[in-house]
Amino acid sequence: MTAPPAPDLELTPERVAAECEWLLDRGDVIVPLANEVRADLAAAFDTTVDPIDRSDYERVVVETAADGDRAVNVAALVAFLRGMDVEDDYPGFVVDELLGRELAATIAGEQPLRLLAEATFHYADIVHHAGDSAGMDDLDAGLAAGVQTRLPGWDWTEGESPFSVDLG
């Protein structure tokens, strides 16, 4: 059996820029999803969380694009997810879940935000159905989870941590 031709996944600076530009255009889908996730999690944890707007979303995309190491990884994950579909979805859901979760974590940054974005991804994935393909559901959920985690608005992220220790 001959393998099918490989998809075009060459990652050049131009390809990374194109994927990041595509992300900017996805704000109309991602901002409402991120706000739905924020509102649901706020209710579940009995707290308030500020909603985000299109400019908040665009700021995260621009910051991500400006960080070359992060940008190339986000671009690769976006490219894979945009091109991915699995017949009957279920047998291949592990791979799109893995990529979507990693997209959320990569956008969110370092710990503990990385872990929170991964957990939030699973919730966003449950409430969102893009309908385009298996990969698009997880791409949107990963973007919403990563962006909403990275942005302020959660009470616990405001101010200094009570666990900060001054050793100086």
For every one of its 168 residues, what pLDDT tens digit does the chain have, with 9 covering 90 and above? 776 665 677 899 999 999 999 999 999 999 999 999 999 999 999 988 999 999 999 999 999 999 999 999 999 999 999 888 777 666 666 788 899 999 999 999 999 999 999 999 999 988 887 767 778 889 999 999 999 999 988 777 777 878 888 898
Confidence (pTM): 0.89
The partner residues of 31 in beta bridges, in order of sequence, read none
Q: Are 144 and 37 within 8 A, CB to CB?
A: yes
CA angle 160, 33, 96 (to 5 degrees): 100
Q: Are 56 and 27 within 8 A, CB to CB?
A: no
- State the amino acid at position 51 in one-letter form: P
96 vs 13, 49, 77, 158, CA distance in Å?
25, 28, 10, 33
85 vs 88, 140, 144, CA distance in Å?
9, 14, 20
